[in-house]
Amino acid sequence: MGALYGNPSLTGVEKTFSPDEIIVTKTDLQGRISYGNRTFFRMCGYSEQECIGAQHNLIRHPDMPRCVFKLLWDTLQSGREVFAYVNNRSRNGDSYWVFAHVTPSFDASGRTVGYHSSRRVPDRQVLSRHIVPLYKRLLDVERRSASPRAGMDAALGAVETLLKESRVGFNQFMFSLGA
Ligand SMILES: Cc1cc2nc3c(=O)[nH]c(=O)nc-3n(C[C@H](O)[C@H](O)[C@H](O)COP(=O)(O)O)c2cc1C
């Protein structure tokens, strides 16, 4: 799809944003971006014109485990909100971590008409102590498996075991890490 949607190599540079900023996007039911705020465009490095109508995986970071997005989509499609730490890749190959709150948007009759994500600066200790090692483990499980399907199942199994051990749901688990 040309340079714009290509896979720029990673620079290894992590960008940060201010604790009083929120990165906002909205999508349609298929995950195509329908709105972004100025902080989003600054952080991802794409223009509004380039983003609107593009799939949100435009900024997918290759080190993110696929199972996290599967859990995110399953939760949204069941009508519930989800909280997750996400590493993103900017256009130039830089990256930036966020703590995202993603929700369905409903119309007056209660039908889901799209999705909405607000992201804040993540806690650095939670990232380094818990999330980076956990996501690395999940990514290893996914990559070591014989097929993408088997990798997804194994990684989801690992998350399920972790949640059972912690006796909490996915969202509570994400919050409990900062406690
Ligand atoms: C409202 C909303 C916001 C999203 N924000 C991001 C995001 O910031 N970064 C990201 O990698 N994926 C985001 N996603 C998930 C993507 O749609 C996609 O599932 C993910 O990038 C994995 O892409 P892949 O299935 O091509 O591997 C978002 C989805 C929704 C519905």
Is the confidence at residue 177, as pLDDT, over 90? no
Domain assignment present for 89: yes
Domain assignment present for 9: no
Domain assignment present for 127: no
Q: What is residue 1's predicted lDDT score, i.e. its pLDDT?
A: 34
- Our count of domains for the chain comes to 1
Q: What is residue 8's predicted lDDT score, i.e. its pLDDT?
A: 58
Domain assignment present for 143: no
| Single-letter amino acid code for the residue at 133 | P
Nearest CA to ligand 1 atom 14: 56
Q: Which two tokens stand for residue 97?
A: 């971590």
Confidence of residue 128 (pLDDT cuts 50, 70, 90): very high
Counting from 1 in the atom list of ligand 1, the atom nearest the Cα of 27 is: 1
pLDDT tens for residues 35-92? 999 999 999 999 999 999 999 999 999 999 999 999 999 999 999 999 999 999 999 9
Strands (DSSP E) along the chain, which ranges? Answer: 23-27, 33-36, 82-89, 95-106, 112-120
Which residue out of 25, 28, 46, 57 has the highest number of ligand 1 atoms within 8 Å of its CB and is therefore the one to mutate? Answer: 57
Q: Which domain holds residue 106?
A: 23-122
Is the confidence at residue 5, as pLDDT, over 60? no
Q: What is residue 7's predicted lDDT score, i.e. its pLDDT?
A: 52
Q: How far is the CA of 69 from the centre of ligand 1 (A)?
A: 7
Q: Which two tokens stand for residue 150?
A: 């088997």
Domain assignment present for 54: yes
CA-CA distance, 115 to 50, in Å (whole number)? Answer: 19
Domain assignment present for 58: yes
Q: How far is the CA of 162 from the centre of ligand 1 (A)?
A: 23
CA-CA distance, 117 to 84, in Å (whole number)? Answer: 11
Domain assignment present for 5: no
Domain harbouring 111, CATH code: 3.30.450.20
Domain assignment present for 52: yes
Q: How far is the CA of 57 from the centre of ligand 1 (A)?
A: 5
Is the confidence at residue 24, as pLDDT, over 50? yes
pTM exceeding the 0.75 threshold for the entire prediction = yes
Nearest alpha carbon to residue 56 among 32, 38, 25: 32
